[in-house]
A and B are shown apart, each in its own frame.
Chain A
Amino acid sequence: MSGVTMNKPLVADSAPKAPSGLHQPRLPRWAPAALALGAAAVGTGIGIGAGLGSHVQWGLLAAVLYVAGMFALAARVEGRRQAKDRLATSLVWVCFLIAVVPLVSLVWETIARGIKVLDGNFLSHSMAGVLTIQPGGGVYHAIIGTLEQVGIATAIAAPIGLLTAIYLVEYGRGRLAKAVTFFVDVMTGIPSIVAGLFVLSFWILMMDNGYSGFAGSMALAILMMPVVVRSTEEMLKLVPNELREASLALGVPKWRTILKVVLPTAIGGIATGVMLAVARIAGESAPIVLLVFGSQLINNNPFEGAQSSLPYYIYEQWAAGNEASYDRAWAAALVLIAFVMILNLVARGIARWKAPKAGR
């Protein structure tokens, strides 16, 4: 089916003038590790020697040295084909390391810088009466805002997403279902700022409502729906048809079959999907900037007046641009990441605990 053509003289090629019998000379197994260490050392050495400022360059240098060295060494000892293989292997490893470095750095920086001002006081106070250049203040108002906005968004998006998924899996046939499937897919790609602009244009500019947490929730709900639909759909498809048929054969109406048989079977996966979606929207800040407007004070009412939220708080503190506010931004980032990660871990925990009952 694919263009796999293996008529090339692979076999002939793999048996070059082998010096002794079948065995090609191979590099020892520790060679890549040793070369990597060497490359790292030389990279650092050159970096220090040439006075290169950024560590990024040291790393890139070491990576290039390693890849080139490995290729040269393998080409000398093992032959061209093996050398190419080694080249690919080392490139793949380098790719992996290149990706890991910034991500580890991100997590590390957030924890190291965020832990400085993160304490009980930070979590239980708002920014009321605190100048941005002063240390002190906290994220309480932002946490309240995030919880309320995300809660409302979930209350809107989860039922709609769930029902849509049920429609697609249990009823969906024909053109409507195809259209819904396609647009759900496309909807996952809507930039969060566009969802924010939409709610802005119809809720605030056209219907003349003020900025409020609820407006933000609507934008978040739009972002959340397609994610819920997708994950729920996947889970419902895993429910074995025999269960449905058995229930229907007993004369149970279809809606009761769905509610009492299909949903309970898939509930673990559905809960996981919803929680992952919650984790995703909890970190959204773009719609909040447009719709909730930000506030320094505690506002417990999401339907009236400006609120804050954790992501928005980070942005605000970053924009203030001084050491005290940077500290607060990092601490809030740590709180947000912890919140999102806990949601993720719990969600995956549920997924594992309620492991797929299908496909036995």
Chain B
Amino acid sequence: MDITPATAASPPPLAGGPAPAEQKATTRPGDRIFLALSRGSGILLLVIMAAIAVFLTVRATNALSHNEGNFFTTFEWSANSTPPVFGIAVLAFGTVVSSLIAMLIAVPVAIGIALFISHYAPRRLSTPLSYVIDLLAAVPSIVYGLWGALFLVPHLGGLYGWLNDYFGWTGIFEYHDGAARSLFTIGILLAIMILPIVTSVSREVFLQAPKMHEEAALALGATRWEVIRMSVLPFGRSGVISASMLGLGRALGETMAVATVLSPSFEIGTSLLDPGGGTFAQNIASSFKESGEIGKDALIASGLVLFVLTLLVNGAARLIIARRKEYTA
């Protein structure tokens, strides 16, 4: 039932006139109004997307023309001083690193849960479970933030101390006492937040794996794990990839949870466990209120980078899904 390009050969339907298939029906005024309305709102959506890009770019260029630092390499965000000096290096680093940590934690766990729901859980459990997972996606991000700041952070200190004792020599896991409001904590929190979406998309894909393949494998004496490895996982690979990218998109743009938990600083440290760093969205939310005209434009400039980043990630995810649909349809 998809809108496939099967009818792409038909004459250009954009001419504004009636579609060729329904000759008389579209000539009535009611029909014309209705078509115009519905097509209009479709176009409106495109216009909004374009407007987002245009307006952000306009404001961003305004900020960049005043910038005394290098937008990409300056380790500083003093957009309100004269002359303004700001750069996104720290933000880009923090955003990418925290999202990658989130992915590393969330994707394997989400695959596990998806398999649990689709293949391991007792049948009576699996429906309510997937229902609960969907409900969890509805928990507002600010609540995750509150929980992260007031519950998770105090509970991670011990773990970080242990990591420091045994892996501190790597530099990455160095930890000095203090509240664990660091990029790594953000990564853990983001992982929890994107679990539901990655899980539900992967679950859908796993459930679609051809039953015949699974039964054939079982009939040959394969264990359940062998069935999954040979027939479910290869089938679901692209689905899992796109699910993870959707999750990545969420993690990149997450604002309030990060803004509540992270204690930001404008430097890139080697240690992920010590407080510091920042992300695009967090920086916008936390420094917005103290910003003047140029400061706001500078934040918009960093928002534009975030917009492009999520656009690329999400677009890629959607393309993978769409290509897969064509294969399996």
A contact set with B: CB distance below 8 Å: 1-6, 10-11, 14, 52-57, 60, 81-82, 84-85, 87-89, 91-96, 98-99, 102-103, 105-106, 109-110, 159-161, 163-164, 166-168, 170-195, 197-198, 200-202, 205-206, 222, 225-226, 229, 237, 248, 253-256, 258, 276, 279-280, 282-286, 289-290, 311, 314-315, 318, 326, 329-330, 333, 336-337, 340-341, 344, 348
Contacts and interface: CB of A to CB of B under 8 A. Distances in A.
Given A84-B225, A173-B3, A180 B45 contact: yes
Given A205-B296, A336-B140, A96 B224 contact: no
Nearest to B199: A99
- Of listed A2, A54, A205, residue having the most chain B CB within 10 A: A2
B147 A56 contact: no
Range, interface on chain B:
35 or more
A226 B143 CA distance: 24
16 contacts: A60-B159, A89-B120, A99-B192, A161-B41, A164-B45, A174-B13, A176-B43, A193-B255, A193-B281, A194-B303, A283-B141, A290-B284, A315-B260, A318-B150, A318-B260, A336-B142
Contact of B224 (A85, A98, A172, A205): A85
Given A315-B142, A318-B146, 14 more contacts: A10-B222, A87-B225, A99-B110, A160-B45, A164-B41, A164-B42, A171-B38, A187-B45, A195-B52, A197-B299, A205-B296, A222-B52, A285-B255, A286-B255
Nearest to A94: B112
A316 B291 CA distance: 18
B296 A200 contact: yes
Nearest to B38: A167
A182 B311 CA distance: 11
B56 A4 contact: no
B139 A54 contact: no
B231 A99 contact: no
Contacts of A96: 112-113, 116, 121
B83 interface: no
B270 interface: no
Interface stretch (B72-80, B166-174, B313-321): B313-321
Given A6-B230, A10-B221, A201-B56, A258 B34 contact: yes
Contacts of A170: 38
B104 interface: no
A6 B3 contact: no
B300 interface: yes
Contacts of B293: 205
B58 to A, nearest CB: 7
B158 A53 contact: yes
Contact of A103 (B43, B112, B136): B136
Nearest to A14: B221
Interface of B: 1, 3, 5, 7-8, 10, 12-14, 19, 22, 25-26, 28, 30-31, 33-35, 37-46, 48-49, 51-52, 55-56, 58-59, 108-113, 115-116, 120-121, 131, 135-136, 138-147, 149-152, 155-159, 161-162, 192, 195, 199, 213, 216-217, 220-226, 228, 230-231, 234-235, 246, 249-250, 252-256, 259-260, 280-281, 284-285, 288-289, 293, 296-297, 299-300, 303, 306-307, 310-311, 313-315, 317-318, 327
Contact of A185 (B12, B108, B314): B314
Contact of A286 (B224, B256, B289): B256
Given A109-B147, A193-B303, A198-B55, A283 B217 contact: no
Contact of A187 (B49, B55, B59): B49
Contact of B311 (A186, A193, A197, A279): A186
Contact of A225 (B40, B45, B52): B45
A175 B273 CA distance: 49
A194 B310 contact: yes
Contact of A191 (B39, B108, B150, B255): B255
Contacts of B58: 201
A311 B1 CA distance: 39
Contacts of A91: 112
Given A197-B56, A311-B142, A229 B45 contact: yes
- Of listed A94, A191, A314, A318, residue having the most chain B CB within 10 A: A191
A289 to B, nearest CB: 5
Contacts of B156: 54, 56
Contacts of A201: 55-56, 58-59, 300
Given A184-B45, A193-B255, A283-B142, A98 B109 contact: yes
A52 B162 contact: yes
Given A229-B45, A253-B30, A326-B150, A57 B162 contact: yes
Contacts of A286: 255-256, 281, 284-285
